[in-house]
Each structure stands twice: as structure tokens, then as C-alpha cells.
Amino acid sequence: MPTPIVLDCDPGHDDAIALLLALASPELEVLGVTTTYGNQTLEKTTANAIRVLELVGRGDIPVAPISERPLVRAIRVAAHVHGESGLYGPDLPPARAAAVPVSEIADRVRSSERPVTLVATGPLTNVAHYLETRGGVEFERVVIMGGSIADGNVTPAAEFNIWADPEAAQRVFQSGLDVTMIGLDVTHKAVTGPDVQRRLRNAGPVGVFVAELVDFFTVYHRQTYGWDGAPIHDAVAVAHVLRAGLVETKLRNVQVELESELCRGRTVVDVWLRTDRAPNAHVGVDLDAGAFFDLLVERVAALS
């Protein structure tokens, strides 16, 4: 039986690819999509989620916008990475469907006969609001794309999704839920290259769309890191849910730095058990990148 999921996202190139991977995977049932600010404003990320769903004929899946800004911080979006639309690159028609109230997705979650997983690939403001109002009772586990054991990508210390709303992230890690952190240590191993791009372009119309997303996404990563490709961060979180063994994790304690502006949003992971803090998250430490890209190309081809 497929695992029901809700995808909480901010499309965004890699969010769009993560959504396509989820839709193409019979192991998953997408109950709904919730959106937040992040890679662009809430208005744009919501429209992008609907546009991607409509691209593959899944306009039946409800999309609910929630958070326009962080809990206490000023909003910052990643237009320098994702462009003015948040999904710059391939042409997509405007969204036709309208967004729905989040209560519609909440009803689907509550009525699910199987435990539901929340996959969060943007800033964690939506998840923090949910914890405040619902206490986390409807979700079996939360898998987030965010954080890092080592280097950041928006500052030397912090990954963007956690940095954007560190207070929300700290609430999630301290919630007592079954939390998995898929961070940059893992997703920076999921970097495309010419071979993956060729395989995607040969995978049909949706594969061409994904390859064109990666073309634009690569520009920033080539300038920043010198890579001839781009990391498909968010799709790794989805892949971890649908196929065990792709990501190796360790159960560790994670705290989020809130006080220091220099280290704002850093996820401090007790990798070597140097404290007496109880483990609160499964932390990604390695990825079978070849198997991940095989899965991605296979599923994108199925959508086409």
C-alpha cells in the first residue's frame, strides 16, 4: 500500500522536481501540497506548485498556501538562485486552478486510513504553525530537507531553509515527533552532470522539462561552486521516503542556533555524541547518488 504524504514546499526548481518524483512513484500517495515563502514569495510558490501539478495532469491534488513570512524574522527569498518567478527556465502556462483552504488538506490527512508522512522542503514556518495548532498528532513522521552538519549554503554556517526561520526549525526539532533531517551533507552528493542531463532529455517531455529546470539551476551552482550541474536537494527527501536504503542516517541530537547572527540557523549536530542531549532526529550522512539518479530518471520517464 502506498504511503500517504503531504508535501510542504516552496517551488523552486528542486521542489518542483521533488513533487514530480512523488507524483510518479506508486509507493506514495500525495494527499495535498502546502506552500510557504522561501525560494520566492508565497503567491509565486503557490502558483508554481499548481503549474507543476497541471503540467502532468494532476490538477486534482489540492494546493493550500499558508505562511507569507517567518515567525519572527524579516522575510528573505532566494530569487538570486531561482529567478524572479521562482521557477525560471522552461515555459509553463499560468496556473488555472485556484488554491484551497488548508482545512481541505487537513481533512484528507485526518481521514487517511494509513499513517501520513509530512515531507517539508522549504522553511519550516508552516510546520511550526501546525505544531502550535494541532500538536503533530496526525503525522507519523516529518522528513525535512534542510540543515547541514558541515557547511551552509546561504551563510558559511547555515542552510537556507533553516536560516530563513530558525525559530520554526527549533520548534520542529524539539517537538518530539519522528524527524528526519536530509541536509546538505547528503544533497550535495546529488549533483547532476552532463550524463544525468542527457538521460533526462531522453526521458520524454517531462524529462526535458526537468532538464531545463536543471539548466537554469546549474547557473548559480557553477558560479558558486564550480559544479557542472546542480544538486536536486528536495527530491532526495522524497526519495528517502519512497525507497529505504538510498540515504544512510544516524540518530543524533540537533539544535538550531538562534542567538548568534554570525551562526544564525546553524544546525548543531552531535555527530560524535559529545553531549548528554537525547537524540531527536535521524540525520542524513550519506547517499547512494547513482541509485538516486537511476530512480529519478526512471520515474520522470514514467510521467512522460
- Asked if 87 contacts 43 with a C-beta cutoff of 8 angstroms, the reply is no
pLDDT of residue 249: 98
pLDDT of residue 134: 81
pLDDT tens readout for residues 36-65? 999 999 999 999 999 999 999 999 999 999
Catalytic one among 82, 188, 221, 233?
Answer: 233
Kindly give the parts of the chain with pLDDT less than 70: none
Write out the E strands in the chain: 3-9, 28-36, 63-67, 116-120, 139-145, 179-182, 247-252, 254-256, 267-269, 281-287
pLDDT of residue 263: 98
Is 82 one of the annotated active-site residues of the chain? Answer: no
For residue 71, give the C-alpha cell. 515567525
DSSP 3-state of 149: coil
pLDDT of residue 138: 87
Distance separating alpha carbons of residues 217 and 191, to the nearest angstrom: 11
Domains for the chain: give ranges and CATH numbers: 3-303 (3.90.245.10)
Taking alpha carbons only, the member of 39, 301, 87, 302 closest to residue 196 is 301
pLDDT of residue 61: 98
pLDDT of residue 135: 73
Distance separating alpha carbons of residues 270 and 102, to the nearest angstrom: 35
pLDDT of residue 204: 97
> Can you say how many angstroms the Cα of residue 165 is from the centroid of all Cα atoms in its chain?
15
Beta bridge partners of 247: 287
Distance separating alpha carbons of residues 92 and 153, to the nearest angstrom: 28
Peptide linkage before 12 cis (omega within 30 of 0): yes
